Structures are given as structure tokens and as C-alpha cells.
A and B are shown apart, each in its own frame.
Chain A
Amino acid sequence: MNQNPQDNSTQLQKTVVIINPQGLHARPADLLVRCADGFDSTIMIQKGSEQVDCRSILSLLTLGATEGTELILTAQGHDAEAAITAISELFELGFHELGQPSQ
């Protein structure tokens, strides 16, 4: 689906940082996909020059994003603001892994 460039839907961007020691492994990737699925906006995550769809667990895992990595979130669509807020919150909470014994 191509976005019509004339369409005036919101595009928002935010930089997030991976703070959980385990990085963006399978479970956080699953959380991101489930979160993204709750929105209509197109949500992309970028590391360096590589940008992937936040709805694809396989693509998220290709980022190999470790603790401390900065990523750029982009959301485009009528609910972009809510999407950015929800997705960035997952990063800020360390995907709910902080303070837990790692497993």
C-alpha cells in the first residue's frame, strides 16, 4: 500500500534508546509487533541506515540492537501520535525486563 504523498496524515519521529541489558531480542520484538498492531499508522524503526517495519518480528531481529543502541521511531497515519507514545514507552520501560533476573 502506497501512502498518498498528498494525504496530510501526521508523520512523527522520535529517538529512543535500548536500556534493557538483553537488547532487542525475540520477546521485546514480539511486544513491539503486538503494540504496533494496535494502530493504523505505518510504524518504522531505524538503526543507522537501516529502516524496518515495526510489524515484522523477523525484520526487527535483523537490527541486532544491543543495550545503548539509539533507534529512530517514525509513525505516519491518523493515530501516529498515540502510536509513537505507546511504542516509545516500551523502550523507556526496558520492555518490562528491568530488575528481573534475565532468562
Chain B
Amino acid sequence: MKFSDFVKKDAIRANLQSTTKEAVIDELVQSLLDAGEIAADQRDDIIAAIMKREELGSTGIGRGVAVPHTKHPSVPELVGTVGVSEVGVDFDSLDGERVQLFFLLISPPERPGDHLRALENISRQLRDESFCRFLKQSKTADDIQQLLQEADDNQFAAG
């Protein structure tokens, strides 16, 4: 699976403004709503579901990366967005580091394979340090989109 298969271009956000876990999840879910990828009346329920998942254990997986996610019956297919925070957000990460890169995923129930393939792609690409560094330095959504495209085109040495 490639980034372009699940990352919704219009929902990508550089310069995330939030500084707390709840606020950044709200900001990212709102970006999917603004891009027309989720229904307005599902917004709060989706945020609550993602927060509930975080209570089971932070999805801050280290290296300044988090993958907040949930299943939700309102989405017909996997939708995701990418957000970058310049200062980082305290996300209770497993390694204690502040999170700068967010990959938020909402998948339909009964499609665990798609979610796993998205996680596989994200983690594989993030093992490349230059990809990680360039993403963190991105100033605009276009910069992020371009990096994701380059990753999809195998321009980073994905292991």
C-alpha cells in the first residue's frame, strides 16, 4: 500500500498549532472533515474513539512519530492524513519524545488488513532517516505531499 492510497491530499497539514494530544487529534480529524472525507455529524464520535484508543496505550511509536487511529463505521474505506508539528506535541510516546509527525488513520471495521498495510507502509518509510528528517522540516502541505509522493516512488531507501 502506498501513501497515496490512504492519505487524503487536501487534509495534509503542515504547521500544526496544537500542543496537547486531544487538541492535535481534534485538529487532524477536523482536517479530514474540511477535506470532505468524513461526515460532520461523525466528527465528535471519531475524536472520542481515537482518544479511547490512546487510553489503551499511546500510539506515539517513537522517533517523534505517532499513528493515532480508530475503526469507524462511517467511513467506507481507509482514510488518513498527515500532520507536522514544528515544536512537537507531548503525546505520552513510548520513548518519551515529543511527537512531530502524525499519521492519523480511520478505517472501516472488518478491514484490519488495510489498516495493517497502512501501518506497514508508514513504518517502512519512516525507518529511512532522511525521509523522517525532511518530513519534520516541511513548511507547507505541498512539501509534505511531495515527500510522500517521492516515498511512493521509492526514492527513499525503504528497507
Contacts and interface: CB of A to CB of B under 8 A. Distances in A.
Contacts of A61: 61, 119-120, 122-123
B94 A33 contact: yes
Interface of B: 49, 52-53, 56-57, 59, 61-63, 65, 67, 69-71, 94, 109, 112-113, 115-117, 119-120, 122-124, 126-127, 159
Interface of A: 21-27, 29-30, 33, 57-59, 61-67, 102-103
Closest 5 CB pairs of A and B: A64-B120, A61-B123, A62-B124, A22-B112, A62-B123
The secondary-structure label for the interface of chain A is loop
B112 A64 contact: no
B103 to A, nearest CB: 11
Contacts of A65: 116
A21 B112 contact: yes
Contacts of A64: 116-117, 119-120
A59 B124 CA distance: 7
Contacts of B109: 102
Contacts of A23: 112-113, 116
Given A61-B123, A103-B49, A103-B70, A26 B61 contact: yes
A27 B71 CA distance: 14
Contact of A62 (B63, B67, B120): B120
